[in-house]
Amino acid sequence: MVIETWFRKMHEKIEHKQIYRVKSLDRALHILDCFSFQKRDISLTEICQITSLNKTTVKRLVSTLTSWGYLRQDAESKRYQLGLRVFELGSIVFSSFSLRKVAAFYMSHLQQMTGNLTLLGTIMDDQLVYIDKREGTGKIQISSDIGWRRPLHFGMLGMVLMAYLSPDRKRKILEKYPLTAHTRYSITDQDAFSLRLGKIREQGYVLEREEAVEGTAGIAAPIRDYSRQVVGALGIASPINQIDSGENEKKFIDLVKNTCEEISSNMGYLKV
């Protein structure tokens, strides 16, 4: 009796959750699920048959998916195929997982060599996303848990990633996420920020002092893959006095750059 009651309550909870499903979104995702390696192009009639939706509904949903780039229609056959937007999103996921896997060993080694917090990030939806980290041995406290999102102009990783974007994309991102002062040392002037990004590209790394977190310095460099595109950034966060003491600055910069080059090489990047 107790088990039956538990199953009934669970069923009621599931039914209750289903109330909040968006029917049109369910139908659109059902249409995308019609495609497979065996069915790479499908006619409108076939979509209706597979989804059991009427032709008017399918036409409306397919038109929306096509306008967003999730579907494309062959001009001659009039049959539908998955669009480039699906490929782009899949590439982001694939690159992120591949990058994290390839970088894992090198991240741990870099953390052991420097004793500092080590962070790996990439771009998702025009934001900086942390995809891996290694805690340092010091007492630096930075809100950078895996999966956390930040404006792309935030800190060492964001600036490195942004430095290698096209001018048009950088402009659009700054319109969407305007420069914000995180500390009294943050750059909030767009012209000065643009010059900063140019310098990062020129030297191949960034050294930022207290621009994201007061009392903390960051050193980061880009990671490229086989396509020669920057797909991620890796960096270390250190107490400001540790960076400024003796030869640590040059040593840490070299370690970060060399680590990123090793990861890039394992991602298929060929340095010419």
Q: At 97, is the pLDDT very low, low, confident or very high (cuts 50, 70, 90)?
A: low
Please give the pLDDT value at position 199. Answer: 96
Q: Are residues 68 and 101 in the same domain?
A: no
Q: At 141, is the pLDDT very low, low, confident or very high (cuts 50, 70, 90)?
A: low
250, pLDDT greater than 80:
yes
Q: Among 82, 97, 112, which residue terminates a domain?
A: 82
Q: At 206, is the pLDDT very low, low, confident or very high (cuts 50, 70, 90)?
A: very high
Residue written as tokens 């809100």? 143
- Structure token digits, residue 139: 């007492």
- Does residue 272 lie in a domain region? no
Q: Are residues 111 and 72 in the same domain?
A: no
Tell me the C-alpha distance between 251 and 249, whole Å: 5
130, pLDDT greater than 80:
yes
Q: Are residues 52 and 152 in the same domain?
A: no
Q: At 226, is the pLDDT very low, low, confident or very high (cuts 50, 70, 90)?
A: confident
Which residues touch 247 (CB under 8 Å, ≥6 apart)?
Answer: none
Cα 76–Cα 78–Cα 81 angle in degrees, nearest 5: 110
Q: At 92, is the pLDDT very low, low, confident or very high (cuts 50, 70, 90)?
A: confident
244, pLDDT greater than 90:
no
Q: At 9, is the pLDDT very low, low, confident or very high (cuts 50, 70, 90)?
A: low
Sheet containing strand 41-42, edge to edge, reads 41-42, 80-82, 71-73
CATH number at residue 196: 3.30.450.40
Contact 70, 54 (CB under 8 A): no
CATH number at residue 22: 1.10.10.10
Q: Are residues 251 and 118 in the same domain?
A: yes
Structural domain including 42 reads: 2-82
Q: Are residues 125 and 20 in the same domain?
A: no
Contact 74, 41 (CB under 8 A): yes
Q: Are residues 193 and 62 in the same domain?
A: no
- Does residue 36 lie in a domain region? yes
